[in-house]
Amino acid sequence: MIKENSLKIFNSLSGEKEDFVPIHKDHVGMYVCGPTVYSNVHLGNVRTFLSFDMIYRYLVHLGYNVRYVRNITDAGHLTDDGNVDNDRFVKQSRLEKLEPMEIVQKYTVDFHKVLEMFNALPPTIEPTATGHIVEQIELARQLIEDGLAYEVNGSVYFDVNEYNKRGLNYGELSRRNIEDLISNTRDLDGQGEKRNPVDFALWKNASPAHIMRWNSPWGAGFPGWHLECTVMSTKYLGETFDIHGGGMDLKFPHHECEIAQAKGAHGHEPVKYWMHANMLTMNGQRMSKSTGNYILPMQLISGNNDFFEKAFRPAVVRFCFLQAHYRSVLDISNDAMIASEKGLNRLMEGIRHLDALKPSNESTFDASKWLEECYAAMDDDFNTPILISQLFEAVRAINAAKTGSGSLTAADIETLKKSLKSFVFDVMGLKSEDETSGITDKIDGVMQMLIRMRNKARADKDWALSDQIRDELDAIGIQLKDGKDGTEYSLN
Ligand code: AMP
Ligand code: ZN
């Protein structure tokens, strides 16, 4: 049963947190702009995709039937709106001496591999721009027919002035005004063709040398970037759907143009809740390929990079991201990653201890109230940092029950077992339960063996060996603690 009206989502269109009411009861349609597959995704891109993975996971956890569409941009994303020589795929294919579609395949495979490594769930539909050329041509044709677009020299542009004359308000999402936009628009190649510098391309004419080209009523060409998302979201989710997401930097012009195309064609807003995930920064600067201030996911995981002291597991990266709210900027640093690693280990250790806990007749911890707080955090626009602080409250209660400074009833232990695991593994996607218990069980077996060998060494007064075992474990971050009930280990 889904609790009605408990989830609140910050809607970028209204600038407010709103009650989430899906268009069709119990169903959610969500579209997230996917990667432009002309090069490897950097860690910043990954943060945005993991933000929406967490959002998708929580909606599913609440019981919604989610249709999650995330596209692959495999054509048409120019580095600027005018110059055909700036086609990212064509440029990269020259550089790597590969066919453009080989570039697309290579980086689509890389993207999937990276997201799988971070335990992101696949979308339910993953359409490509090149698979929807026919629909894009059709939408451009319709907009020309409706008087909202015009053709010049085999290219088609959206007529922003005409759109505004009809009272449709270009700039409503990014709250930009048209005069400022005109004065800020650079003089780009192809702009001479436009009636107005803010008009944007729906279709671009391609020269014979341009390899990525398709036939259209206006001659050979290729689609503009904004058109694909309007066409694919409409096709799979309908003219109006619940959630549209992407990184903050896509608000303008990409999402603004999507709204204009859809409102122009269908006469109404396409999206109920616009969601924007904030940027990952490194050294205080936005992570981006073009400035060189970026790190690739594999460089962080392997430790092969100049920014971080050591390698980090994918789950640590994911945990670090979740420790910031998805709408806040997050600066990644060595210290932040070390702290996240410690935090995640403490959390996993708490879960491990939970399985071995002996129930008491009374509890010093109110697990039902705790559970309510967890949901309250997530229902408040997916507030993962507050959720994580609640999860640590639970870990504290578990540790107290373990050491005897607190206690938990069987019912509270059951609540914690079910919900703690469900938040950590299902909602935060930190690691599948099987994988964790599989690895944990094996590590635990090895640790028990080492502890037995050390006990034997101590009994034999072989202090050199017993110290060696303790010190070498310590060097890799595993501490042994001798207590009255024997020796325990911690992975901090
Ligand atoms: P692109 O492949 O360039 O279209 O980007 C894919 C996604 O990554 C988009 O949703 C961007 O908004 C997002 N993105 C780009 N740079 C960053 C960053 N530094 N931090 C977070 N998200 C980013
Ligand atoms: Zn898009």
Q: How do residues 355-408 score in pLDDT, each as one tens digit?
A: 899 999 999 999 999 999 999 999 999 999 999 999 999 999 999 999 999 999
Domains of the chain: 8-277 (3.40.50.620), 281-437 (1.10.730), 441-491 (no CATH)
> Where is pLDDT greater, at 369 or 76?
369
Please give the number of the atom of ligand 1 that sits closest to the Cα of 36. Answer: 2
Q: Which residue has the tokens 């995981």?
A: 301
Residue 163 CB coordination number (10 Å): 22
Please report which confidence band the pLDDT of residue 208 belongs to, taking 50, 70 and 90 as the band edges. confident
What pLDDT is attached to residue 57?
Answer: 98
Q: Which of 455, 117, 129, 429 is nearest to 301 (CA)?
A: 117
Best residue among 73, 249, 258, 328 to mutate for probing ligand 1's pocket (most ligand atoms within 8 Å of CB) is 249
- Give just the sign of the alpha carbon dihedral 350, 354, 358, 364: positive
Cα of 286 to ligand 1 centre, how many Å? 10
Cα of 423 to ligand 2 centre, how many Å? 30
What pLDDT is attached to residue 439?
Answer: 60
Q: Which residue has the tokens 């639970």?
A: 394
Residue 447 CB coordination number (10 Å): 17
What pLDDT is attached to residue 478?
Answer: 87
What pLDDT is attached to residue 192?
Answer: 84
CB-based contacts of 117: which residues, under 8 Å, 6+ apart?
297, 301, 314
In the predicted structure, residue 264 carries a pLDDT above the cut 80? yes
- Residue whose Cα lies nearest atom 10 of ligand 1: it is 247
Residue 121 CB coordination number (10 Å): 13
Number of H helices, E strands in the chain: 16, 15
Compute CA distances 460 → 316, 359, 443, 489, whole Å.
40, 38, 26, 22
Distance CA(117)–CA(49), nearest Å, equals: 13
Using one digit for the tens of pLDDT, what is the confidence trace for 26-45?
999 999 999 999 999 999 99
What pLDDT is attached to residue 245?
Answer: 98
> Where is pLDDT greater, at 143 or 443?
143
Tokens of residue 19, six digits? 């009650």
Strands (DSSP E) found in 40-120: 65-70
Among residues of the chain, what percentage have pLDDT more than 90?
80
What pLDDT is attached to residue 433?
Answer: 45
In the predicted structure, residue 299 carries a pLDDT above the cut 60? yes
In the predicted structure, residue 434 carries a pLDDT above the cut 50? no
Q: Which residue has the tokens 């945990």?
A: 319
Cβ atoms of 238 and 225 closer than 8 Å = no
Cα of 417 to ligand 1 centre, how many Å? 36
Tokens of residue 24, six digits? 């069709």
In the predicted structure, residue 81 carries a pLDDT above the cut 70? no
Cα of 282 to ligand 1 centre, how many Å? 14
> Where is pLDDT greater, at 326 or 83?
326
What pLDDT is attached to residue 78?
Answer: 67
Cβ atoms of 198 and 178 closer than 8 Å = yes
> Where is pLDDT greater, at 431 or 121?
121
Using one digit for the tens of pLDDT, what is the confidence trace for 345-356?
999 999 999 989
What pLDDT is attached to residue 414?
Answer: 96
Cα of 35 to ligand 1 centre, how many Å? 8
Q: Which residues line ligand 1 (CB under 6 A)?
A: 33, 35-36, 44-45, 47-48, 246-247, 249-250, 279-280, 286-288
DSSP state letter for 423:
I
Using one digit for the tens of pLDDT, what is the confidence trace for 162-195?
999 999 999 999 999 877 777 766 545 456 899 9
H, E, C per residue of 19-40: ECCCCCCCEEEEEECCCECCCC
Mean pLDDT across the chain, nearest whole number?
92
Best residue among 41, 46, 48 to mutate for probing ligand 1's pocket (most ligand atoms within 8 Å of CB) is 48
Q: Report the DSSP beta bridge partners of residue 286.
A: 281
Phi/psi-derived region of residue 137, left when phi > 0, alpha when psi is between -120 and 50, beta in every other case:
alpha
What pLDDT is attached to residue 146?
Answer: 98
Cα of 412 to ligand 2 centre, how many Å? 45
- Give just the sign of the alpha carbon dihedral 125, 231, 178, 185: positive
> Where is pLDDT greater, at 435 or 221?
221
Secondary structure (DSSP) of 314-362: HHHHHHHHHTS-TTS-EEE-HHHHHHHHHHHHHHHHHHHHHHTPPPBSS
| β-strand pairing of 8-11 with 16-19 | antiparallel
What pLDDT is attached to residue 243?
Answer: 99
CB-based contacts of 346: which residues, under 8 Å, 6+ apart?
392, 395, 492
- Residue whose Cα lies nearest atom 18 of ligand 1: it is 44
Please report which confidence band the pLDDT of residue 447 belongs to, taking 50, 70 and 90 as the band edges. confident
What pLDDT is attached to residue 83?
Answer: 59
Using one digit for the tens of pLDDT, what is the confidence trace for 42-55?
999 999 999 999 99
What pLDDT is attached to residue 11?
Answer: 98
- Measured from the alpha carbon of residue 246, the closest ligand is 1
Please report which confidence band the pLDDT of residue 129 belongs to, taking 50, 70 and 90 as the band edges. very high
Q: Which of 203, 238, 206 is nearest to 223 (CA)?
A: 203
